[in-house]
Amino acid sequence: MAPPVLWPVDLIAPEGICYGWKRPLICIAGVLPIHDRSEAQRVLTSTLSRTEWAAVRHVFSSDPAILGYCRPDDGRRTPELSFDDDILPSGTAGIQLILYRRHKRQSMRFYAFNFNELDIQPSQEATGVSTYSTYLTHKDFLKADFTRVGNPDTRKGTALDGEVLSQVNLAQLLASIIDKEKSGSRALPRSTPSTPDLHKGGNTSHPGPGRAMAVVAAISKAYSISRTFSTTAEQFDIRYEQGVYVYGEVPYVYRDKARTVQSISKFHNCVWLAFNDVIIGVTFGSFLSENKDYLARWLHYCLQVYLVDGMRDALLWLNHWPAGLKLNTELSEFYCHSLVGVVSAWGWLLQYAAPHFPALIWLVGAGGCCGMTMVVSLLSDVLSVLTAHLYVCYWISATVFRHQLALAGALWNLFRGKRYNVLRNRIDPWDYDLDQLLLGTILFTLLAFLYPTVLTYYALFATARLFVMILHGMFDTSTALLNHFPLFALLLRVKDPLRLPGGVCIQRSRTGTLLLSSLPAPLSSIFRHYAHLAGRLTTHYHPLRMLRQLASGRLLNPIPRAAIRYSMIPAEGVLKRS
């Protein structure tokens, strides 16, 4: 069977020595227009020692090598090839060429089996077949006979895999480096291992390293705690991560150092999202800053009327047998006086803080310089602070309600003649004495008469907490959309679909030649990661889940920001933090 050879369609081959990779498939990257094999080997060896090639060497399992000799065939693009005997036996006839295009890094085009480069989950779907092409999926490539080359014993199982795609993606880079080397350019240094001399220049020790490490550990722990309770701190951490990544990638992207096109795409996706976020944030922040006085008056009015006076009136109304519901007088007065005291104290603090509301709104607007996500995070934290009195009242009432439910469950087991076994974590039968049953009956009577009062006050603050959680859910959804909206990917999909590959196919052109082509990623794969975000948000804020938590007395809290955070940069670009 004719063995396949990958040949660059954009290369008008001169007569000379061809170079490329021997495995998994024979992939020709270019041709050196020289006839001296030793000179060609010297140029290739010198090229492989350059720093710009060493930056991408880890992608391959083997280095490029001299493959053989080629000569033009009567002006046709497909030349006449003769390979070395260790690559392809001389007796093998009928070499089958598969043409591919060597994309330049600046074009940001590349081949990929799946669209998983721009903060998108990998897609396994097969899409897009032209009317005159032969389409093969990734699994079909693994089974196709044309991927078998040479001796079946030595090349059994070779196929068009991810390494072959890396070879065709970086073939143009290899050819450009060889052209520089052949022309005598020495602009870039050789890749030589070096170890920094940390002890050069005398004593470099610093006093008190243990104390310094303790201070750093304390700061790191405080920062981790702040990220748990503050959405602003978590968003700042995202911006810090992006800043470290962009700062580290700029020398490789804009100073002509080696970088794969996938890394360049990730870099531009991160920068594009950050800049658009900043543009929207500056616009909305300017609106907040220009109208801070009006917004401050409106904020103070809403807080005073709805969150202070409204809650105080609702507590007093519950204390006077609302809608004919007779509550326990003593317990109701205790609840009312205690919770009214908390609400009134918070209202007194808001009165003193009201003159500073314009400065607070201006501060939120100034956060727009860091993006709209920072504005939303600041608003979420401000909401948590301004409704702190509601959370305190909700925590008190929910704690009492939860303990009453636990006591009711224990008494229910007592009346059934059962007991909870803490060692085996199960319910076991148990014989109770008469005095134990009598005490249980008295406690159950007290619980039955006090339960409606506890439930009424708990329902009030649980409802208030539910409304606050709805606002937090809106803020969290907005932040997730802004942090992960695939705007860059959508623009690439419209402008140049080949920059957003979603698969590869073998097309048979009208002339009968085989061409390795890239399929654009489907729109469904671009938005696939939103399904994961939506799943996490809807799971946490699902009405049935929240109702179950309310019925059991468990506290309602916003979703952890780490649960809706996707890293928009590769793992190797993130600064490692303990």
Per-residue pLDDT reduced to its tens digit, 148-157: 333 333 334 4
Q: Does 306 fall in a domain?
A: yes
What does the pLDDT read at residue 138? Answer: 37
Question: 96 pLDDT exceeds 70?
Answer: yes
Contact 483, 74 (CB under 8 A): no
Using the predicted structure, report yes or no on whether residue 112 has a pLDDT greater than 60. yes
Q: Is residue 521 part of a domain?
A: no
**Residues 442 and 313 grouped into a single domain:** yes
Residue percentage of the chain with pLDDT more than 70? 75
Residue 575, pLDDT score: 37
pTM: 0.70
Computed over every residue of the chain, the mean pLDDT equals: 76
Q: What is the pLDDT of residues 297-333, one digit of tens each?
A: 999 999 999 999 999 999 999 888 777 777 888 899 9
**What residue type is assigned to position 20 of the chain?**
G
Residue 275 lies in a domain: no
Question: In what helix (H) or strand (E) does residue 218 lie, and over which residues does it extend?
Answer: helix 209-229
196 in any annotated domain? no
197 lies in a domain? no
**Residue 155: inside a domain:** yes
Confidence class for position 101, pLDDT limits 50, 70, 90:
confident
CB 284 within 8 A of CB 372: yes
- Model pLDDT, residue 254: 63
Q: Greater confidence, 380 or 98?
A: 380
Domain tally, the chain: 2
For 422, the domain range is: 282-486+527-573
Task: Determine if the peptide bond prior to 24 is cis (ω within 30°).
Answer: yes
pLDDT at position 376 over 90: yes
Give tens-digit pLDDT for 407-448.
988 888 888 888 887 788 888 888 888 888 888 888 888 888
Sheet holding 501-508, edge to edge: 76-83, 65-73, 16-21, 26-32, 4-8, 96-100, 514-520, 501-508
Residue 273 lies in a domain: no
Whether 542 and 397 map to the same domain: the answer is yes
- Same-domain status, 153 and 289: no
Tell me the pLDDT band of 79, cut-offs 50, 70 and 90.
low
Boundary-marking domain end, from 139, 156, 182: 182
Averaged pLDDT for residues 256-284: 76
pLDDT band (50, 70, 90) for residue 103: confident
Backbone CA torsion sign across 9, 112, 512, 145: positive
pLDDT for res 163: 81
pLDDT score at 154: 36
> In the prediction, which pLDDT does 90 show?
56
For residue 344, pLDDT beyond 70: yes
Residue 565 near residue 525, CB atoms below 8 Å? no
* Among the ranges given (20-24, 230-234, 267-271, 298-302), the one the predictor scored with the smallest mean pLDDT: 267-271
List the beta bridge partners of residue 503: 519
pLDDT higher than threshold 60 for residue 187: no
**CB distance 6 to 28 below 8 Å:** yes
Write phi, then psi, for 162 (nearest 5 degrees).
-65, -35
Stated as kind and residue range, the H or E segment containing 265 is: helix 261-290
Of the three residues 141, 164, 182, the one that is the final residue of a domain is 182
Model pLDDT, residue 468: 93
178 and 286 share a domain? no
Same domain for 330 and 471? yes
Indicate the pLDDT class of residue 140, thresholds 50, 70 and 90: very low
With a cut of 70, say whether residue 288 has pLDDT above it.
yes
Q: Is the pLDDT of residue 496 over 70?
A: yes
Q: Are 409 and 558 members of one domain?
A: yes
Query: Which of 35-49, 197-211, 460-474, 525-539 comes out lowest in average pLDDT?
Result: 197-211
pLDDT, position 464 = 93
What single string gives the DSSP state of each residue in 58-78?
GG-SS--EEEEEEEEETTEEE
Looking at per-residue confidence, does 390 or 158 come out higher? 390
- pLDDT at residue 488 tops 90: no
pLDDT at residue 486 is higher than 80: no
Mark whether 177 and 289 lie in a shared domain. Answer: no
- Condensed to tens digits (0 to 9), the pLDDT of residues 237-264 reads 888 888 888 888 777 776 555 555 556 6
In a domain, 412, yes or no: yes
Q: Which residues contact 133 (CB under 8 A, 6 or more apart)?
A: 505, 506, 507, 508, 517
Q: Which of 325, 385, 34 is nearest to 182 (CA)?
A: 34
Q: What is the mean pLDDT of residues 354-370?
A: 93
